[in-house]
Chain A
Amino acid sequence: ETGVTQSPTHLIKTRGQQVTLRCSSQSGHNTVSWYQQALGQGPQFIFQYYREEENGRGNFPPRFSGLQFPNYSSELNVNALELDDSALYLCASSLGGGGWNYGYTFGSGTRLTVV
């Protein structure tokens, strides 16, 4: 059974640029959630994808967008990067449906630095 894998592990971008982060879900999981974790803070929910549709969104602006593919992998896209977007971005996969999610498993994250 493979776990949740994220790429890249580290990334440095310039303010105003766009970035795409990738996540492969754990085998058997059909739901992917993305979280932003600033230094010294708990993770904050960005959004979740289930059956290739957005299924819940946190308090993040529209320049944060995502995709889920038929194999349940996912991308997080951030446009017009700001310095405050510097954070660890975590992907979590789970088995969802019917309003519940089980087996929330996190990847190791992508450390994004915006300069």
Chain B
Amino acid sequence: GQQLNQSPQSMFIQEGEDVSMNCTSSSIFNTWLWYKQDPGEGPVLLIALYKAGELTSNGRLTAQFGITRKDSFLNISASIPSDVGIYFCAGQPSGSRLTFGEGTQLTVNP
């Protein structure tokens, strides 16, 4: 089946630093999504990308849909303590299912 490789698995950064994480796939996706999950909660959608090469921002977050349609990255600028959580990429080939990466655990030290 389709596999998503998400890296890094974890990051420990200082408040104010920028963060970058990425996902790669062996298969092509038509949609890339980035979610954040806090403990005991469901994933919350941060950014959705629907077109190869698309670069989209949401406040301090920026994500890009790779031109090959097999990768995506998420950048967070000027991190703050509330950015702490697990970030997941998810790819959607078409139709029903999302395939999730294993997540990046972000810790921000004040």
Q: Which chain A residues numbered 55 to 100 have a C-beta less than 8 Å away from chain B?
A: 55-56, 58-59, 90, 92, 96, 99-100
Within B1-30, which residues are at the interface with A (CB < 8 Å)?
Answer: 1, 4, 6
Q: A45-B96, A56-B95 are in contact. List 9 more A-B contacts (CB 8 A).
A: A42-B4, A42-B6, A50-B96, A96-B96, A99-B95, A100-B94, A104-B33, A106-B35, A108-B41
A-B contact pairs, 21 of them (CB 8 A): A33-B97, A33-B98, A35-B98, A42-B4, A42-B6, A42-B90, A43-B98, A56-B96, A90-B42, A92-B42, A100-B95, A101-B92, A101-B95, A101-B96, A104-B45, A105-B45, A106-B44, A106-B45, A107-B42, A108-B42, A109-B40
Nearest Cβ in chain B — how far from A113, in angstroms?
Answer: 14
Smallest distance from the beta carbon of B78 to chain A beta carbons, Å?
A: 27
Q: Is the CB of A33 within 8 A of B33?
A: no
Query: Chain B interface (Cβ within 8 Å of chain A)?
Result: 1, 4, 6, 33, 35, 40-45, 88, 90, 92, 94-103
Which residue of the partner chain B has the closest CB to A56? B96
State the CA gap A100–B95 with chains docked (Å): 4
A58 vs B99: C-alpha distance when bound (angstroms): 10
Q: Is the CB of A109 within 8 A of B42?
A: yes
Question: How many angstroms from the CA of A99 to the CA of B94 in the assembled complex?
Answer: 6
**Whole-angstrom CA separation of A77 from B101 in the bound complex:** 26
- Please report the C-alpha to C-alpha distance between residue A36 and residue B29 in the assembled complex, in whole angstroms: 21
- Contacting residues, chain B, for A2 (C-beta < 8 A): none
Residue of B nearest to A44 (CB): B100
Mask, A31-60, CB within 8 Å of B = 1, is 001010000011111001010000110110
On chain B, the residues within 8 Å of A48 by CB distance are 96-97
Q: Which listed residue (A42, A59, A96, A101) contacts B88, Cβ 8 A? A: A42
Which residue of the partner chain, among A33, A58, A90, contacts B43 with CB atoms under 8 Å? A90
